[in-house]
Copies of this chain bind each other. A is one copy, B any other.
Amino acid sequence: MARTECVAMILAGGQGSRLGVLTDDLAKPAVPFGGKYRIIDFTLSNCTHSGITTVGVLTQYQPLDLNTYIGNGGPWDLDRNIGGVYVLPPYVRMKAGEWYKGTANAIYQNIPFIEKFDPEYVLVLSGDHIYKMDYTNMIRYHKKTGAAVTIAVMSVPWEEASRFGIMNTDETGRITEFQEKPAQPASNQASMGIYVFNWRDLKEYLIADEQDPSSDNDFGKNIIPNMLQNREEMFAFQFQGYWKDVGTIQSLWEANMDIIASPPVFNLHDNNWRIYSKNPIQPPHYVSSDAYIVNSCITEGCNIFGRVEHSVVSDGVTIEKGAIIKDCIIFPNVHIGEGAILEKTIVGQGTTIGKRVKSGIRESGDNPYASDLCSEGIVLIKGDITIDEDTEIYKNSMVRTYQRIGGGEV
């Protein structure tokens, strides 16, 4: 059997608590995005298009959901005779189980998995980024420079640079310094959390790091600084294009809006780089004579009788007559009743919004659903609940369980 040149390991994140109720029952990478995708579809599709067919997905929480979503890997063309895609939760070893202590520890715990494929390179990726990238270019660059590790970087606005891990490089692209969230950034080249390692080198560093009790076992905090200190050859690979970390409600909302901007900030209409997903088995969407839809994306299985403006509508959604949604993200199988008016609202999978419900329109000092996680007016409503008719939900709310709180007749 031919050896596998490069294995990809996707760090599919911790509990994702900054996404609030969206990750109550769901691993972050499985959160819906862009009408018919899950967040992880982007990274998986990038792997497939880059010819990387052995992929491990490292996740702490709810591995079961992710396992059944990913299934045999077929939707991403990752149902392979050799390799394919594996969900790798931390499993019980000798006496007790261990959380993945940090990103580096997650890879460390899966050294036996990687060794099975005897790769030359390991591509370390993050499961909560939205972007399209051909990793082959980066791997080619890595081979050319002969580096121990190559780190993808992109230019960020100077004023935001202090929120990122910043790479300082010499004129050849060699990394000379790494600053994690620097107050005074020396450059605006931010690490995207995408690494190509020589597996042999990485393995050594992982083993050493594991033996250091003071380590956070994290790539950004430990592995990369240690390699820098040991003067390993480290290069930055310049990425140009759209890239977004969707770890917060705000950024998730923004990224969804980016695909319906005109012209789109992030264009998914690209036949050469399709984003694969487990497609819903639904007929085309129906748009009634009364409907009005502009600046939005709508997908299969929807029935639109109302008004949709600048919104992302997922599969199987019904929007009844007279309902208006604006700047919203509607997850799959939501039902929005007649006359409901929603603005800047994210509605979780399977939720029913009663008739004449209002959401995200007014502010209130006395908001029972107020949440620090929701700002900029965004409302987040959990999946699989019912919001009764005539309820009003104020801006900056997160509705986990709904209890009638006055405001209208049933």
Interface of A toward B, CB cutoff 8 Å = 1, 60, 63-64, 67-68, 71-74, 79-81, 84, 86, 89-92, 96-99, 112-113, 116, 281
Contact = CB atoms under 8 A, between A and B. Distances in A.
A1 B1 CA distance: 39
Contact of A72 (B72, B113, B116): B72
Contact of A91 (B84, B97, B281): B97
B90 A79 contact: no
Nearest to A67: B86
Contact of A92 (B60, B79, B80): B60
Number of copies: 2
Contact of A97 (B79, B97, B116): B97
Contacts of A116: 64, 68
A79 B67 CA distance: 14
Contact of A64 (B1, B73, B96, B113): B113
A113 B84 CA distance: 22
A252 to B, nearest CB: 25
A90 B89 CA distance: 9
A79 B89 contact: no
Contacts of A73: 72
A85 B345 CA distance: 38
A189 to B, nearest CB: 36
B112 A64 contact: yes
Given A91-B91, A92-B89, A72 B64 contact: no
